[in-house]
Chains A and B, each alone.
Chain A
Amino acid sequence: MKLSLRLRPIAFIGVLLLAWQIAVSLHPGHLLPTPLEVLRGIGDLLQHGLLLKYIVASLFRVTWGFALAALLAIPLGLLIGWYSRAEMAFNPLLQILRPISPLAWIPIAILWFGVGDLAAVFLIFLCCFFPLLLTSIQAVRSVPAVYIHAGRNFGLSPAAMIGRVLYPAVMPQLIIGLRITLGIAWLVVVAAEMIAVNSGLGFLIVDARNAGSRYDLVVAGMIMIGVIGWLLDLGMRSLERVRSLRWGYAED
């Protein structure tokens, strides 16, 4: 029973792939490659060593942009959230910067950093920075007053207050924020690579189309993006199962 439940989504995908294969072979044209062609495309990429290279290139940019944003946005957000006056000062600016799509920054990124990794990392950084900043401001502000009071009551120094009360209290929300942000970063890296660099999965898609209308490679790139995005999310989700964090998610 349990196994068959687990197999159900795989079987479903299998049926869809089969339907795709049949549908395309019934109407041969150039609207979509067949799953087999895509598989062959992935094989091609593997053979030329491009697949791994492009995946690593994309992950590299996401890692740097995401890590830099987290390193800056989280402490800053905690600080702003803690001092309500700082929040009042920052809030209007944040509310205006936040709705600007990271893609709107592409021309400026290229102007500042040229065409290359740095521009892409900068775009990832931007798209992670604002959501993370807002999440951490919100996280501090929603720490129940009883925890703060209890910390003060037991005579905690300000540093101990941050380390032993504030930080553990905001962790669950921060992790949700990090998870969502990593998802955004993965969306944006593809767009950034289509314009600013000549490697990575986003570049693969644009290049495959421009260089020879290799739609098998376009679809292969899309599938790799999907699979890796899913794996990244699974990785972040596994953090939510840490025992000392679980209180922030479980409803029962």
Chain B
Amino acid sequence: MSSSIKEGAISPSPETKLVVEHVSMIFARDGKSVPVLADIDLDVRRGEFLCIVGPSGCGKSTLLNLMGGFLPPTSGAIRIDGEIVRGPDPRRIFVFQERGVFPWLTVEGNIGFGLFKLSREERERRIAHYIQMVGLKGFEQAYPSELSGGMKQRLEVARALAVDPDVLFLDEPFGALDSITRLTMRGELLRIWETEGNTIIFVTHDIDEAVQLADRVAVMSSRPGRIQQIVDIDIPHPRDISSPRYLELRAGIYDQIGLAHRI
């Protein structure tokens, strides 16, 4: 159990933002226990863009939910800045697929949702700033049902950024978008990450997406999920996705997951 881990005993190096220590997760379903994650160890550096890829059902979303504090691990612990995660926190925001925006609030209302502790002026300044940043100017009074999928996704990212979090958890954020919008959104996310400097942990089942975005890619095996390999993507942004190095890294991950290169 987590009590075996001494709190505060580890002084994290200034580079380390988040540590996953021997985390296992077992779900009880119909009286049977289903192991979902088995002894996961993972370090995430401050300001890093980490992608977690794996086959569906490998527990990558569960791992992200544990990091976000929405679930307690069965055993092991997750630390952020040396502190054990005990629940969700506005310093680390979880971005769902665009489903997470509140349909009863306008674009402005959604972005301002987490800013209730700020003064009115500061709140309005931030709302305007992030509306600008994600390109929703002119849609301040629109409701989510009046927006496209890509715009809703940008809105959810803006709502998360507005509270100035250190960490963003993104759970297949672009999964429901068409492929062209998805490409645009990746570019925009990189641009935002480069200006804001948050630590980003991004779960996807799309290997190309991971290799295009991440500093490092953690590859997970199927259930019970383990970290199989961590791949450094040593290509500077903007990345040439036809370069030999890109193709080599991508092929390596395909092999790792056991996918054929031909269909």
Q: Chain A: residues with CB nearer than 8 A to chain B?
A: 144, 146-147, 149-150, 152-155, 160, 164-165, 168-169, 171, 243-248, 250
Q: Are B88 and A149 in contact (CB under 8 A)?
A: yes
Residues of B151-204 contacting chain A, CB below 8 A: 163
Residues of B within 8 A of A243 (CB): 143
Minimal Cβ-Cβ distance residue in A for B92 = A153
Q: B76 on the interface (CB 8 Å rule)?
A: no
Question: In the complex, how many angstroms separate the beta carbon of B198 from the nearest chain A beta carbon?
Answer: 15
Provide 14 A-B residue pairs closer than 8 Å at the C-beta atoms, listed in order of the A residue: A146-B96, A146-B100, A149-B100, A150-B102, A150-B113, A153-B68, A153-B93, A160-B116, A169-B102, A243-B143, A244-B105, A245-B104, A246-B143, A247-B143
Residues of A within 8 A of B103 (CB): 247-248
Residues of B74-114 contacting chain A, CB below 8 A: 87-90, 92-94, 96, 99-100, 102-105, 113-114
Q: B54 on the interface (CB 8 Å rule)?
A: no
Q: B145 on the interface (CB 8 Å rule)?
A: yes
Pairs of residues from A and B, 7 with the lowest C-beta to C-beta distance, nearest first:
A247-B103, A154-B114, A168-B104, A155-B90, A153-B88, A146-B100, A152-B88
Measured between alpha carbons, how far is A146 from B99 in the docked complex, in Å? 7
Minimal Cβ-Cβ distance residue in B for A252 = B145
Measured between alpha carbons, how far is A247 from B5 in the docked complex, in Å? 47
Q: Considering residues A152, A168, A169, A245, which has the most beta carbons from chain B within 10 angstroms of its beta carbon?
A: A152
Q: Are B99 and A144 in contact (CB under 8 A)?
A: yes
Question: In the complex, how many angstroms separate the beta carbon of A36 from the nearest chain B beta carbon?
Answer: 50
Q: Are B70 and A147 in contact (CB under 8 A)?
A: no
Q: A247-B145, A250-B145 are in contact. Are A155 and B89 (CB under 8 A)?
A: yes
Residues of B within 8 A of A144 (CB): 99
Measured between alpha carbons, how far is A226 from B88 in the docked complex, in Å? 53
Minimal Cβ-Cβ distance residue in B for A172 = B104
Residues of B199-220 contacting chain A, CB below 8 A: none
Q: B144 on the interface (CB 8 Å rule)?
A: yes
Question: In the complex, how many angstroms separate the beta carbon of A158 from the nearest chain B beta carbon?
Answer: 13
Sorting the interface of chain B by its residue count into under 10, 10 to 19, 20 to 34 or 35 or more gives 20 to 34
Measured between alpha carbons, how far is A247 from B142 in the docked complex, in Å? 12
B163 contact from A154, A168, A247, Cβ within 8 A: A154
Minimal Cβ-Cβ distance residue in A for B115 = A154
Residues of B within 8 A of A171 (CB): 104
Question: In the complex, how many angstroms separate the beta carbon of A173 from the nearest chain B beta carbon?
Answer: 12
Measured between alpha carbons, how far is A150 from B99 in the docked complex, in Å? 11
Residues of A within 8 A of B99 (CB): 144, 146
Residues of B within 8 A of A152 (CB): 70, 87-88
Q: Are B100 and A150 in contact (CB under 8 A)?
A: yes
Residues of A within 8 A of B88 (CB): 149, 152-153, 155
Q: Are B105 and A154 in contact (CB under 8 A)?
A: no
Minimal Cβ-Cβ distance residue in B for A148 = B70
Residues of B within 8 A of A155 (CB): 88-90, 114
Residues of A within 8 A of B163 (CB): 154
Q: Are A149 and B94 in contact (CB under 8 A)?
A: yes
Residues of B within 8 A of A146 (CB): 96, 99-100
A247 contact from B68, B100, B104, Cβ within 8 A: B104
Minimal Cβ-Cβ distance residue in A for B68 = A153
Measured between alpha carbons, how far is A247 from B94 in the docked complex, in Å? 23
Q: Considering residues A153, A164, A165, which has the most beta carbons from chain B within 10 angstroms of its beta carbon?
A: A153
Additional A-B contact list (15), CB under 8 Å, known A150-B100, A150-B102? A146-B100, A149-B88, A149-B96, A150-B94, A152-B88, A153-B89, A153-B94, A155-B88, A155-B89, A155-B90, A168-B104, A169-B102, A245-B104, A247-B103, A250-B145
Measured between alpha carbons, how far is A164 from B89 in the docked complex, in Å? 17
Q: A146-B100, A171-B104, A244-B104 are in contact. Are A153 and B144 (CB under 8 A)?
A: no
Residues of A within 8 A of B102 (CB): 147, 150, 165, 168-169
Q: Are B90 and A247 in contact (CB under 8 A)?
A: no
Residues of A within 8 A of B96 (CB): 146, 149-150
